[in-house]
Amino acid sequence: MTSKPLRVLAFASLFALYLPAFADDAPAPAANAKIKIDGVIDPAEWQGARHITDFRDTQPLTGAPGSLPTEAWVMATPEGLAVAFRAVQPVGVPRTMQKIQRDEQAQVDRVNLMVDFEGDGRTGYNFMVSASNGINDAVITNQSQFSTDWDGNWQHAASSDAEGWSAEMLIPWYIAPMAKGADGKRAFRIYLDRVVGATGERMAWPQASFERPRFLSDFAPIEVPAYNTALLAITPYASGLYDNVRHDSTFDGGADIFWKPNGQFQLTATINPDFGQVESDDLVVNFGANETFYSDKRPFFTENQGLFDFTTPSDFSQLLYTRRVGGPNDDGSGPGDITAALKFNGNVGSTKYGMFLAEEGDPVGRSFRALRLVHDFSQQNVGVMLTQVEHPYLDRTANVLGVDHDWRPSARWTVRTRLIASDIEQAGQETRGSGATVWADYEMERGWRQQYMAMHFGDSLEINDFGYLSRNNLNYGHYQVSKRITDLPADSAFASHDWRARVSFTDNDHGMALQRQFRLSRQSQLRDGSNLYGQINVNSAGFDDRITRGRNPLRMPANFNSHFEFSRPRKGAWAFDAYTDVMSGGLAGNHRIGWSAGVAPTWFASDALSFTLDLSAEHVADWMVWQGGNTVGEYDERSVQLDGAINWNIDDRQELRVKLQALGLEARARQGWDAQPDGGVLASAAPVGDFSLRNLGFQIRYRYELAPLSYVYVVYGRGGDMFNEYWQPSERLLGDAFSLRDAEQLVVKFTYRFEL
């Protein structure tokens, strides 16, 4: 009998026999002179490139010419798309030469190239280079949603002089799927911008902005010679782990395979992928009914994933949530053992296709499958996704079908629709559910916008076998009006304000009113590069139908919550972030007020070495925690959290990261309540006691880059958590957290990418 991983790879080999039918038969253009990517713009090398100088302000979104001269050159070469930037920056404008780690979100001097290789407004790729030659790369979906989980292999360099700085990039043609050429030409869309770190000013060509509902679709069309490059890359890894608690060692190995024979097809496969021991998730304390969402850093699951993006407006919701693969086993015995996985995608004309397959080993392993098709029209595109998960241990098969439609009827309107259906068969019982969402954005004159949104998720809809949905059994709608103000006086400390007002309703699928809300918020950009955000929500009385996990609901009185945050970029040796919240809630409603606050200064010992200390505290005056059955506990909760980080970019190849998270939480019981069928409560006879919690996560990670996407990691990690059924002061618990040692591990990992 053929094993699961062999079946997956055999399927890939069989499919590959038909690839010549999709080959790009466009004639090969004459080769240009090769460009040396060294950060120094040689006019002879860039002769014949498209020269762009009309950079306009998009932060603040005034459309005025940028305050500092910026030029760019764009040219297609046989090796890839070459782009150069020249950023004039006189002495009077501070230049941020801070070194950053890959994908770090820091406000530094930088330039961005964004490319929609297929030109349909569905998936874009962002390539950023800072003045210190740091990089960021991301996938853009849903018009303006950025994900930095993906890392691509591309060339970059930057250099500085007295008048400013320059950057060069070369994006190989195999980096992503792209439209097939015609008559020796290939058409796609691009966007270029420059950000001044000291002021936060962003100037772009064309005048597109991710602050608008439509971003990807506003990229500028460009036509270049239809060069093509093929690539076969194999990235094996080997890792060893020593567990200092159990005093044992484990060794593992596997490989990722990437193959792109032409511009219209890409295949990625993995055998025994690493689950990511060198990455660490943030500590989260979740006593609620909704699952916590985590992003995925595993290379196979981030490569070429944009086509499989199928999201709805509900927070983080998606039909294909890759953290399910290799997630907790169905029998609760630990994480699933992924033996092999395969993903391929490509296009034929205006139709894109993709398939995702993954198999877990051992008797409780699952089988994951997804099929994706998308067709692009001139002003709209329509897609379909089908997923299936087989759970042999649970005798369960989960099928989900989704249809998505993005429509751009005019320059002002953008309408997005999603239809979802699930069919679950378990132990001979079949359950079907459905859902639908639609949201429309209307861009008006003088900075005014409107948004209309409606969501319906039936109480029988189940997509979480392969996808992520925080909750079903939901009906939601809102109307939002926004006003962007950019014509502020020149002597104002603010460069722009963005006001938003929203009214919304939330019911469950049985007509129970969960909440009515009015929201008012303002996002402000200051001329010194700082950002200020404030939001207040006023909530009506309603029901919480999730707290007892589907049993009797709990009637909640009217309440409010507010959030304010301030971020100041690096000035001299310091950067600074702070936030505060004031809120009410629980059964006390507005009669008890809680708060939270945090401050996070960062000190830069040099451009390469920084220290961050983030200290936060919280007091939830009326915290409701499920006890089991229809009983909930009412608590006075206080917590303190300490996060610390040391980031040292030793040189262009080496980095050292130290990350610490420690949490102490105390909860003093006020009263136990039994929820009644009508949502009311009666004092519970069951005892409800105090409790406390402490968590620790600590990691030291050294990384050495051997070659592009090839690394040696040495990682030490320690952590643990402890739950006590008695009260202790939260500040003492924070100190006690450092004694936790449920896990202590040393991991050494080697990975090397061979390009053939």
Query: How far apart (Å, rounded) are the C-alpha atoms in residues 80 and 100?
Result: 25
Question: CA separation (Å) from 141 to 63, 210, 267?
Answer: 24, 11, 20
Which is more confident, 8 or 531? 531
What pTM was computed for the model?
0.89
Per-residue model confidence (pLDDT) at position 33: 58
Average pLDDT value for residue range 364-382: 93
Sorted by where each starts, the structural domains of the chain and their CATH numbers stand as 31-225 (2.60.40.1190), 546-756 (no CATH)
Per-residue model confidence (pLDDT) at position 603: 97
12 pLDDT higher than 90: no
Average pLDDT value for residue range 578-587: 98
10 pLDDT higher than 70: no
Query: How far apart (Å, rounded) are the C-alpha atoms in residues 18 and 692?
Result: 61
Q: Scanning the structure block, which residue is given the tokens 């058409």?
A: 187
Structure tokens at 10: 């055999």
Four-residue CA torsion sign, 682, 676, 544, 478: negative
Percent of residues, the chain, with pLDDT higher than 90: 76
Neighbours of 642 (CB within 10 A): 17
Per-residue model confidence (pLDDT) at position 184: 87
Instruction: State the amino acid at position 429 in one-letter form.
Output: Q
Per-residue model confidence (pLDDT) at position 27: 43
Structure tokens at 361: 């080993």
Which is more confident, 263 or 747? 747
DSSP conformational letter for 15: H
Using one digit for the tens of pLDDT, what is the confidence trace for 703-743?
Answer: 999 999 999 999 999 999 988 877 777 778 778 878 888 99
Question: CA separation (Å) from 604 to 96, 398, 684?
Answer: 12, 51, 54
Average pLDDT value for residue range 339-351: 90
Average pLDDT value for residue range 556-582: 96
Query: How far apart (Å, rounded) are the C-alpha atoms in residues 193 and 206?
Result: 9
Using one digit for the tens of pLDDT, what is the confidence trace for 658-689?
Answer: 999 999 999 999 999 999 999 999 999 988 99
Query: How far apart (Å, rounded) are the C-alpha atoms in residues 595 and 617?
Result: 8
Using one digit for the tens of pLDDT, what is the confidence trace for 81-136?
Answer: 999 999 999 988 999 999 998 888 889 999 999 999 988 888 999 999 999 999 99
Residue 275 pLDDT grade (very low, low, confident, very high; cuts 50, 70, 90):
low
Instruction: State the amino acid at position 740 in one-letter form.
Output: L
Using one digit for the tens of pLDDT, what is the confidence trace for 614-627?
Answer: 999 999 999 999 99
314 pLDDT higher than 50: yes
